Chains A and B, each alone.
Chain A
């Protein structure tokens, strides 16, 4: 009975204990890396936040309309705070993954590698979305002003369409970066855009021939229809 207890219980426990003892240095290393990582994350996050404040990053974001967009989305913190916090969590997650890989356990190692390999794609897609948003603002504002100055009655519609066009392209590119339904997104985007262009061509070319003719005549000869020609020399 005693021998049974020693064989069935003690020996596995001893083996487990040995494994744990063998793992202890790795666990200790993990804790040290995690602690150092947490400290580094806090410091780097704080430095980034302060640096962005010093260079006036929040003022630039005000001018670019990013702050206004965030406020509309319910985010009230300054962008420098958010980026600081983002950097903090980024460094911390990186430290956590590095700490876990020190344990030398195969499944964890593989997870860590694929997670780290995915981070650049995450960052790139975030950058694409941000650039796409800023570009859509710029393009729609330029289109709106040009359309109003040209006297185009549907100026706001055209500006909104240009904004959505740029943002949809940016979203499609971001999804492609993330590897989410790549083929579906590319195909869907191509089909939709092609369909819109084809529909417009058919509508103006065939289905609304007379309307297109009237529209173009009215648009191109707007100044001629006026009773009085404008001879102003502005300079």
Chain B
């Protein structure tokens, strides 16, 4: 159902003037004047080069920037001659609009989805406004699987250092793969492709006044896509280089956002994930390559110290969150030498599953529970770094694959603890992992 209050009158007018579109690319923004010009030019070039005859619309959904970000979008033009692009059959329409609702990326996406629905766009994509490594090829890789291959959702696949995205590698990927049965390697990448039909499906969900609108939109989109039965795939986009965010800035806030969104979605989609066994590979488009990426310096000593302080000071809290045997297994790590510090895959899987169950049962204020995971996560990251320091990225990826298999193997433990009175559900036939159609 259309929301008449979502778009400004000017935007409504523009949408009516444009009428319909084939392809829509959305760029949410807030004070990104220094980078958004490059993104707009890359998108424009990509649409002109790969979809020259498609009616294309670029939507900038802005959160009230004070650095003239919308003006930069308006003024960004592409030298098509230099790009060797000559065949432009359809002009690119630009819609620059503020968004309404709770401040955050989710509200920006909602505006983009609404415009996509009004324009009946067949294929859509959203890209971050601070990307420095985006190329026109990204647009083809995010849109073509939707437009020409019949997929509903395209997740990104970035070339990353083995120590990049440790929350994704140790929590988000293993857990979403284990729960929903699809090996989407980077479920919270930030740049996605999706069908117009899926955009309409997202719009009809009542999440826009919740935390999803603030900071859970990426994992929410991926989870809703797989849980709804959409056809999902991935596209290799190369390295993702964007404005550096302070890496130490509130790691616990990041965990609250990401793990909180994951656990909340587990509650909502229990009927889906509780019957799935194993996982299936997800089609990967794009030309894959490996190049050296910038080295990442890691301070293992600090992480281990944080873990040990957590073990000493947060033990009463962890005792409420974790199963007794899980907590007991952590004690030997209190005093062991640094090179022997190791949180095994099975222990880590138990930790995450116990935390999800404790979150569901509301054993303590949820924000406290999620923040108390920080020392555990740092301990696991330190353990992973120590284990893989001599390995190549591909070998380290092999370790992550082993971790994921452990998560899948221990899923019955999660199911048993999640619903202790309904253990017999395990006897139900597992859902097939063949690619189903998007439910109506």
Taking A144-B317, A145-B314, A148-B309 as contacts, is the C-beta distance between A232 and B252 under 8 angstroms?
no
**Cross-chain contact B368 with A141 (CB below 8 angstroms):** yes
**Cross-chain contact B166 with A145 (CB below 8 angstroms):** no
Instruction: Kindly state whether residue A14 has any CB partner on chain B within 8 Å.
Output: no
**Cross-chain contact A235 with B368 (CB below 8 angstroms):** no
**Cross-chain contact A234 with B247 (CB below 8 angstroms):** yes
Taking A141-B317, A151-B309 as contacts, is the C-beta distance between A231 and B296 under 8 angstroms?
yes
Taking A63-B363, A63-B364, A226-B301 as contacts, is the C-beta distance between A233 and B309 under 8 angstroms?
no
**Cross-chain contact A232 with B166 (CB below 8 angstroms):** yes
- Chain B neighbourhood of A223, CB < 8 A: 248, 302
Residue of B nearest to A65 (CB): B364
Residue of A nearest to B160 (CB): A233
Which listed residue, A144, A149, A231, touches B297 by the CB 8 Å rule? A231
Q: Can you report 15 A-B residue pairs in the complex whose CB atoms are below 8 A from each other?
A: A63-B364, A138-B365, A141-B365, A145-B314, A145-B371, A148-B314, A149-B306, A151-B302, A155-B313, A156-B313, A226-B299, A228-B297, A230-B298, A232-B164, A233-B247
Q: How far does the alpha carbon of A155 sit from the alpha carbon of B163 in the complex, in Å? A: 29
Chain A nearest CB from B413 CB (Å) reads: 23
Chain A nearest CB from B21 CB (Å) reads: 31
Q: How far does the alpha carbon of A189 sit from the alpha carbon of B254 in the complex, in Å? A: 40
Which 7 residue pairs of A and B lie closest in terms of their CB atoms, listed nearest first? Answer: A230-B299, A234-B167, A231-B297, A149-B374, A231-B296, A149-B252, A145-B371
Q: In A174-232, which residues have CB < 8 Å from any B CB?
A: 223, 226, 228-232
- Chain B neighbourhood of A234, CB < 8 A: 165-167, 247, 251, 254
Which residues in B have some Cβ–Cβ distance to A below 8 Å? Answer: 163-168, 188, 245, 247-248, 251-252, 254, 258, 296-299, 301-302, 305-306, 309-310, 313-314, 317, 362-365, 368, 371-372, 374-375, 381
Which residues in A have some Cβ–Cβ distance to B below 8 Å? Answer: 63, 138, 141-142, 144-149, 151, 153, 155-156, 223, 226, 228-235
Chain B nearest CB from A172 CB (Å) reads: 26
**Cross-chain contact B298 with A235 (CB below 8 angstroms):** no
**Cross-chain contact B313 with A148 (CB below 8 angstroms):** yes
- Chain B neighbourhood of A235, CB < 8 A: 165, 167-168, 188, 254, 258
Chain A nearest CB from B420 CB (Å) reads: 15
Q: How far does the alpha carbon of A144 sit from the alpha carbon of B372 in the complex, in Å? A: 9
Residue of B nearest to A152 (CB): B309
- Chain B neighbourhood of A151, CB < 8 A: 302, 305-306, 309
Chain A nearest CB from B412 CB (Å) reads: 26
Q: How far does the alpha carbon of A234 sit from the alpha carbon of B168 in the complex, in Å? A: 7
Residue of B nearest to A222 (CB): B302
Q: How far does the alpha carbon of A234 sit from the alpha carbon of B165 in the complex, in Å? A: 4
**Cross-chain contact A149 with B375 (CB below 8 angstroms):** yes
Residue of B nearest to A230 (CB): B299
Question: In the complex, how many residue pairs between chain A and chain B have their CB atoms under 8 Å apart?
Answer: 87
Which listed residue, A63, A141, A232, touches B362 by the CB 8 Å rule? A63
Q: Which of B251, B252, B299, B363 has the most CB of A within 10 A?
A: B299
Chain A nearest CB from B367 CB (Å) reads: 8
Residue of A nearest to B306 (CB): A151
**Cross-chain contact A228 with B298 (CB below 8 angstroms):** yes
Q: How far does the alpha carbon of A153 sit from the alpha carbon of B381 in the complex, in Å? A: 21
Chain A nearest CB from B165 CB (Å) reads: 6
Which listed residue, B296, B314, B364, touches A232 by the CB 8 Å rule? B296
**Cross-chain contact B296 with A148 (CB below 8 angstroms):** no
- Chain A neighbourhood of B188, CB < 8 A: 235
Which listed residue, B165, B317, B362, B374, touches A233 by the CB 8 Å rule? B165
Q: How far does the alpha carbon of A231 sit from the alpha carbon of B168 in the complex, in Å? A: 16
**Cross-chain contact A230 with B362 (CB below 8 angstroms):** no
**Cross-chain contact B368 with A232 (CB below 8 angstroms):** no
Chain B nearest CB from A62 CB (Å) reads: 9
Q: How far does the alpha carbon of A148 sit from the alpha carbon of B374 in the complex, in Å? A: 9
Chain A nearest CB from B168 CB (Å) reads: 7
**Cross-chain contact A144 with B365 (CB below 8 angstroms):** no
Taking A145-B317, A151-B309 as contacts, is the C-beta distance between A233 and B164 under 8 angstroms?
yes
Q: Which of B188, B297, B313 has the most CB of A within 10 A?
A: B313
Q: How far does the alpha carbon of A229 sit from the alpha carbon of B297 in the complex, in Å? A: 6
Residue of B nearest to A147 (CB): B313
- Chain B neighbourhood of A147, CB < 8 A: 313
- Chain A neighbourhood of B375, CB < 8 A: 148-149
Chain B nearest CB from A31 CB (Å) reads: 50
Q: How far does the alpha carbon of A149 sit from the alpha carbon of B379 in the complex, in Å? A: 12
Taking A151-B305, A229-B299, A230-B298 as contacts, is the C-beta distance between A146 and B371 under 8 angstroms?
yes
Q: How far does the alpha carbon of A228 sit from the alpha carbon of B298 in the complex, in Å? A: 7
Chain B nearest CB from A202 CB (Å) reads: 29
Known pairs A145-B252, A232-B298, A235-B167. 9 more at Cβ < 8 A?
Answer: A148-B306, A149-B306, A153-B309, A228-B297, A229-B299, A230-B297, A232-B296, A234-B254, A235-B254
Chain A nearest CB from B58 CB (Å) reads: 26
